[in-house]
């Protein structure tokens, strides 16, 4: 297998949360205070052994970004988090890797404290992604998420006075009963506290979650697409007015504060995922990719064909407001000028004013982004005729 890795990002998955939100279908284990020692040891061992093996195999000399996600990495306790940070630092040192880039950790407002900040700074973590979701207690209860407005305001005040790095807030739009004033308040508070990035997500109801069951039993209201669209549109306007520029379908940043780690996903750059449930994607010389994942004791592996990889490039690249360039994806198995393969769809959307071409890049206009799913479907239908599977 001819791996084609010049640059690499690291994703570390910590599959523990204080408790489980009603809408969540991620792999995370609720620990209600402190995770079980045995489980944590097993996770840390997996991260260390897998990291050591793969970083050596890939002859990695430079990491572009590191992202610790989950789950809720901040919830495992300061002593254990320090162990994890020191495992990551040890891997980097042992393999002789240079790293000066963006280093992000996800955190819950409940866990933000001066001691956490001191710990993160001592390991050169320079970006926090705070799972705020809402500043309204009623909204939080409607989606079965613990925590409170008071906790979040306290966390933001600690960050504002003590944290020297960058930080982002996660927000959910479309919660039944949510008011546009709720969004206004979050954006205002983000400005006051110095947040430089916002991620605004739609509340989606995943099958098998407690929230889906409660909705089926009539105990909770189901979110409505129209409410989401109205609130999201309002959020886009409010965030942009406050100086957060939309650079991806659901991401907004102050100038220069885009998430470099996430941009690398959207640009299909290689990343190594460590820990249970973490996915890795490493490009192959033919334009395809190797994807694997360790999860709950299983090891899954698949080879993506150049056509599958090109499809992913469309699905992630067209999420970006700046659009996508053909040079983003190349390899011996990828045809020259691959966008010709979706030429009919491109012309159609361009004629309707929904797609632009500028400086070698192609992207959807703001109006076009509202129709992203439809556009991608049209691309895939066309691609099935212009690039039949047996050519991939
Ligand atoms: S904090 Fe995040 S990962 Fe944990 S249960 Fe809630 S939504 Fe899921």
Determine what percent of the chain is predicted with pLDDT higher than 70. Answer: 97
Mean pLDDT estimate for the chain: 92
Coil, strand or helix: which one is 54? Answer: helix
Tens of pLDDT, residue by residue over 43-101, are: 999 999 999 999 999 988 899 999 999 999 999 999 999 999 999 999 999 999 999 99
pLDDT at position 326 is 83
* Closest of 37, 29, 24 to residue 13, by C-alpha: 29
Measured between alpha carbons, how far is 138 from 50 in angstroms, rounded to an integer?
42
**What's this model's pTM, rounded to 2 decimal places?**
0.94
Q: Is the bond preceding 120 in cis, omega lying within 30 degrees of 0?
A: no
Give the pair of three-digit tokens for residue 57. 């195999």
What is the mean pLDDT of the segment spanning 218-247? 92
DSSP annotation of 222 reads P
Tens of pLDDT, residue by residue over 8-21, are: 999 999 999 999 99
pLDDT at position 3 is 72
Measured between alpha carbons, how far is 206 from 334 in angstroms, rounded to an integer?
35
In the chain, domain spans: 8-264, 305-392
Q: Class of 8-264 per CATH?
A: alpha beta
Distance (angstroms) between ligand 1 centre and the Cα of 305 equals 33
Write down how long the chain is: 392
Q: Would you say residue 330 has pLDDT above 80?
A: no
Q: 12 or 294: which carries more pLDDT confidence?
A: 12
Contacts (Cβ under 8 Å, ≥6 apart) of 193 = 156, 157, 159, 160
Distance (angstroms) between ligand 1 centre and the Cα of 18 equals 9
Please indicate whether residue 147, judged by its CB atom, sits closer than 6 Å to ligand 1: no
Give the pair of three-digit tokens for residue 4. 């084609």
Measured between alpha carbons, how far is 342 from 9 in angstroms, rounded to an integer?
30
Q: Which long-range contacts (CB under 8 A, 24 or more apart) does 373-378 make?
A: 375/318, 375/345, 375/349, 376/314, 376/315, 376/318, 378/345, 378/348, 378/349
Q: Would you say residue 392 has pLDDT above 50?
A: no
Q: In ligand 1, which atom is closest to the CA atom of 20? A: 5
């Amino acid at each position: 297998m001819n791996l084609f890795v010049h640059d690499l990002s690291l994703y570390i998955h910590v599959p523990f949360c204080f408790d489980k939100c009603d809408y969540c279908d991620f792999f995370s284990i609720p620990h209600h205070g402190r995770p079980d020692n045995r489980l944590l040891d097993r996770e840390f061992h997996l991260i260390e052994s897998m990291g050591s093996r793969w970083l050596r195999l890939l002859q990695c000399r430079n990491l572009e970004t590191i992202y610790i996600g989950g789950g809720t990495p901040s919830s495992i306790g300061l002593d254990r988090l320090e162990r994890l940070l020191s495992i990551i630092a040890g891997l980097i040192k042992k393999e002789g890797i240079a790293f000066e880039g963006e280093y992000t950790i996800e955190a819950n407002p409940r866990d933000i404290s001066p001691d956490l900040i001191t710990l993160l700074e001592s390991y050169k973590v320079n970006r926090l992604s705070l799972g705020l979701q809402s500043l309204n207690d009623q909204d939080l209860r409607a989606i079965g998420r613990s925590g409170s407005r008071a906790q979040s305001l306290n966390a933001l005040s600690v960050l504002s006075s003590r944290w020297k790095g960058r930080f982002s807030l996660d927000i959910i739009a479309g919660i039944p009963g949510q008011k546009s004033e709720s969004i206004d308040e979050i954006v205002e508070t983000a400005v006051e506290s110095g947040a430089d990035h916002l991620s605004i997500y739609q509340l989606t109801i995943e099958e098998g979650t407690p929230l889906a069951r409660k909705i089926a039993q009539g105990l909770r209201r189901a979110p409505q697409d129209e409410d989401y669209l109205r609130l999201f549109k309002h959020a886009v306007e409010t965030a942009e007015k406050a100086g957060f520029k939309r650079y991806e379908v659901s991401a907004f940043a102050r100038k220069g504060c885009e998430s470099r780690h996430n941009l690398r996903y959207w640009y299909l750059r290689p990343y190594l995922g460590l820990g249970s449930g973490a996915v890795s994607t490493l490009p192959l010389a033919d334009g395809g990719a190797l994807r694997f994942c360790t999860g709950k004791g299983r090891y899954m592996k698949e080879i993506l064909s150049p056509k599958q990889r090109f499809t992913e490039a469309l699905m992630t690249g067209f999420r970006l407001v700046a659009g996508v360039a053909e040079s983003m994806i190349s390899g011996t198995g990828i045809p020259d000028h691959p966008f010709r393969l979706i030429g009919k769809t491109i012309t159609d959307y361009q004629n309707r004013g929904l797609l632009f071409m500028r400086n070698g890049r192609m992207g959807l206009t703001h109006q076009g982004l509202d129709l992203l799913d439809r556009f991608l479907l049209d691309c895939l239908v066309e691609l099935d005729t212009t690039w039949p599977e047996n050519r991939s």
